[in-house]
């Protein structure tokens, strides 16, 4: 492992994006844990709990678009570094407190591809498929597939309340699901 190369990368990114080296190292560590394609971490300079994957960036200060753009920019160079240097891209499984003995079955409607982001809050699972421009939300066992059109969804807010709500944001601002076309669901699972 080329420690000097990595140290230089961290220093360069910290200076370019006006972040501490610790913040950049935290992103790099999280990217390593995510196999170089995703990161989940907590750091004060990103507003706390944050997530990054290609096409989806979330920061603890969820409506801070500048901070979200900063994380997206910071993650780009380490992703390239990990791809160019596979010997340093340790794809170790993330530490967990408990792992179920059951395997999670693929439950996405067929033909949508690989989701860039998935999650669930207050019994509302969702998945975003940017390649096929689809958003899938499950509510009370009922799946609805939406055509996202020209929206590139990059922010998801999951309210911690008694209301079951999700808020999606794109380059155009708030994504109003009532304005999106509902698509038929492929019945095969």
Q: Does position 29 have pLDDT exceeding 60, yes or no?
A: yes
CA atoms within 13 A on the CB side of 34: 19
Q: Is the dihedral of CA 28, 29, 34, 38 positive or negative?
A: negative
Helices (H), 34-141: 65-84
Q: Does position 2 have pLDDT exceeding 70, yes or no?
A: no
Cα 111 from Cα 52, distance rounded (Å): 24
Going from the C-alpha of 39 to that of each of 131, 171, 183, the distances in angstroms are 20, 21, 30
- Write out the E strands in the chain: 38-43, 48-53, 56-58, 117-121, 124-129, 134-139, 142-147, 155-158, 166-170, 173-174, 181-183
Q: In this structure, how many other beta carbons lie within 10 angstroms of the beta carbon of residue 2?
A: 11
**What are the pLDDT digits (tens) for 142-159?**
889 999 998 888 767 665
CA atoms within 13 A on the CB side of 10: 16
Q: Does position 24 have pLDDT exceeding 50, yes or no?
A: yes
Share of the chain above pLDDT 70, in %: 78
**What are the pLDDT digits (tens) for 80-121?**
888 887 766 654 444 444 444 443 444 566 778 877 777 776
Q: State the pairing for strand pair 155-158/166-170.
A: antiparallel
Q: Does position 184 have pLDDT exceeding 90, yes or no?
A: no
Query: Could you tell me which residues come within 8 angstroms of residue 106 by beta carbon, excluding any fewer than 6 positions away?
Result: 189
């Amino acid at each position: 492992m080329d420690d000097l190369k990595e140290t230089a990368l961290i220093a360069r990114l910290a200076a370019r994006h006006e972040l501490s080296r610790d913040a950049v190292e935290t992103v790099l560590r999280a990217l390593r844990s995510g196999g170089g394609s995703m990161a989940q971490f907590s750091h004060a300079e990103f507003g706390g709990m944050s997530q990054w994957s290609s096409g989806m960036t979330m920061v603890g200060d969820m409506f801070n678009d500048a901070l979200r753009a900063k994380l997206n920019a910071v993650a780009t160079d380490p992703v390239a570094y990990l791809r160019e240097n596979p010997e340093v891209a340790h794809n170790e499984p993330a530490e967990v407190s408990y792992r179920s003995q059951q395997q999670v079955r693929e439950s996405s409607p067929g033909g949508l591809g690989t989701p860039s982001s998935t999650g669930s809050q207050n019994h509302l699972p969702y998945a975003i498929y940017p390649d096929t421009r689809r958003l899938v939300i499950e509510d009370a066992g009922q799946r609805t597939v939406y055509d996202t059109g020209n929206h590139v969804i990059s922010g998801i807010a999951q309210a911690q309340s008694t209301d079951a709500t999700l808020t999606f944001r794109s380059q155009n601002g708030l994504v109003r699901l009532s304005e999106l076309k509902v698509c038929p669901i492929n019945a095969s699972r």
